[in-house]
Structure 1
Amino acid sequence: MKHHPVLLFSLLASLHLSVSAQEPFTAQSRNAPSHESPLTDRLLDDRMARDWGLQPQEWARYQELMKGPLGIQSPNVDPLTALGIEARSDEERRRYAELQVQTEASRVEKLLAYQRAYDEAWQRLNPGMKRVNLLDDKPSTTAMRGSGRIAVFVKDGCEACGQIVQRLQTSGVEFDLYMVGSRKDDARIRDWAKRAQIDPARVRNGNITLNHDGGRWLSLGLPGDLPAVVHEVNGQWQRQP
């Protein structure tokens, strides 16, 4: 069967116009803003709120608070503490305090469970080996000096760390201070010591030593957060209450 030339040209032209008419719609679809990102953000926020035991509106309030003075003054504060500090009523304050106690109890339970697994693995893989010897790159200034010498582990941005160091210094006890997260930056430790008001004379005479942690705190495998005061008992490092 033969096609009429005029009819074939008309059909092709019609097809071309039809395709051309659809192109702007296709381009517009490609350039249209995607709604996937806001949806993903919302789902992430909902998950974070659930993880902390909060309602979505409470999580949104926490995010707003962190955009203000609180976020500048305490950039690493957790959601429950932030909401508790900025509570608008006694009821809110009690709610966030209870949530935080529950969260901390759960965290400690998990930490202790892992600690038991770590202890078992250490004994199985390294039977009879002492876990760590608290020595620095300069043994003359950092060796643990008998049963009367204690080690204090601190970290930057920890108000309680400065307080416990001050109490030890006031009591006159000798101790070796190890800064976790110092990244082997001597200036970082010196600045922290100044803020904690550590007596330079006691550092010079060796009553107090300032040292990089270098992974020692993790190697001790002791439970709990920093600050930590530890001492050696029968070859084992124990945390003081």
Structure 2
Amino acid sequence: MKTIVSCMRLLSRAALLTVLLPLSSLAAQSHRAVESRVVESDLRSSTSAALDERLARDWGLKAEEWGRYRQLMQGPLGLYSPNLDPLTALGMEARNEDERQRYAELQVQAERRRVEKLLAYQRAYDEAWQRLYPRQQRITASSLRSHLASSQPLASPVELRLAVFVSNHCPPCDQRVKQLQAAGQPFDLYMVGSDNNDAEIRQWAARAGIEPSKVRAGQITLNHDAGRWAWIGGRGGLPAVVKEIDGRWQRQ
């Protein structure tokens, strides 16, 4: 009898071990999976932080300034101007005059460096074209950049993007913008005299019939003028439709 009881106890223990061992294995696997996800999350966070630090440094910004730019672009500013650069965005949304002056100076310096690089490349491009194809009509570097941006066949005419300057309470401005939109023409719109008032430009866009889907797609961008009309030497009344041709802004 004792032998039978001992055998039953051994069988019970074996059965219990049979149940517990797989459970232990599953728990270990689950723990390893959680650890793996934590490591991957930490790695992504570290990579993202390093990228943000590099981008901030490229624009001459501090980490907290880059973080504020990211926040601004997640709000109405990013909806109306999805391709706005950090310095313009922070300058437009400056909280005091010192900030506005700082971002203006940084942008002037950045633009100067960009133009110097562009001119140096343009000279190299012109020399290469003259050396390789001296008897063929030249394709300018600006046209080449437009072709790459629009992904159009090189043989087709390249239509450069228009800049449209308008003001509030200007019926001809409303009408001109409606015509451009109906024609399917991409353009960057700048409101003169808006004093960086987002509500004003939103109300104007609704009144002028700007389609939100085209703004979200980047076909139309809505921007405060912020002195651009004066910067390009704009003259005459509004609306003004202008296009950059060979480095100069020409009224259409």
- Distance change in 2, residues 1:239/1:95 (3 Å): closer
Aligned partner of 2:184 among 185, 188, 191: 188
| Percent of paired sites with the same residue | 48
| C-alpha separation in 1, matches of 2:159 and 2:46 | 43
Shift of 1:132: 5.1
Question: Secondary structure of 2:184's match?
Answer: helix
For 1:139, the equivalent position in structure 2 comes to: none
For 1:91, the equivalent position in structure 2 comes to: 98
Q: Is 2:46 the counterpart of 1:30?
A: no
Normalised by the length of structure 2, the TM-score is: 0.49
Shift of 1:117: 1.0
For 1:196, the equivalent position in structure 2 comes to: none
Structure with more of its chain in helix, by fraction: 2
AA in 1 matched with 2:116: E
For 1:101, the equivalent position in structure 2 comes to: 108
| C-alpha separation in 2, matches of 1:130 and 1:153 | 18
Shift of 1:154: 3.9
Task: Provide, for residues 161-204 of structure 1, a one-character-per-residue CA deviation record: whole Å limited to 9, x for no partner.
Answer: x89xxxxxxxxxxxxxxxxxxxxxx9423x86xxxxxxxxxxxx
The total of aligned residue pairs comes to: 154
Output the aligned Cα RMSD: 4.1
Aligned partner of 2:85 among 78, 84, 95: 78
Task: Provide, for residues 108-153 of structure 1, a one-character-per-residue CA deviation record: whole Å limited to 9, x for no partner.
Answer: 111111111101110110013221599xxxxxxxxxxxxxxxxx96
| C-alpha separation in 1, matches of 2:76 and 2:123 | 41
For 1:214, the equivalent position in structure 2 comes to: none
| C-alpha separation in 1, matches of 2:139 and 2:47 | 45
Q: Is 2:151 the counterpart of 1:155?
A: no
Aligned partner of 2:119 among 112, 115, 122: 112
- Distance change in 2, residues 1:240/1:53 (3 Å): closer
AA in 2 matched with 1:117: A
Shift of 1:68: 1.3
Conservation of the 8 A alpha-carbon contact between 1:53 and 1:99? yes
| C-alpha separation in 2, matches of 1:41 and 1:52 | 17
Conservation of the 8 A alpha-carbon contact between 2:88 and 2:107? yes
AA in 2 matched with 1:155: R
Question: Secondary structure of 1:227's match?
Answer: strand
Shift of 1:83: 0.3
For 1:42, the equivalent position in structure 2 comes to: 49
Shift of 1:72: 1.5
Task: Provide, for residues 17-74 of structure 1, a one-character-per-residue CA deviation record: whole Å limited to 9, x for no partner.
Answer: 8897465233222134332222221111111111111111001100111111111221
| C-alpha separation in 1, matches of 2:80 and 2:249 | 31
| C-alpha separation in 1, matches of 2:73 and 2:249 | 35
AA in 1 matched with 2:33: R
Conservation of the 8 A alpha-carbon contact between 1:153 and 1:227? no
- Distance change in 2, residues 1:159/1:25 (3 Å): farther
Conservation of the 8 A alpha-carbon contact between 1:153 and 1:228? no
| C-alpha separation in 2, matches of 1:240 and 1:96 | 24
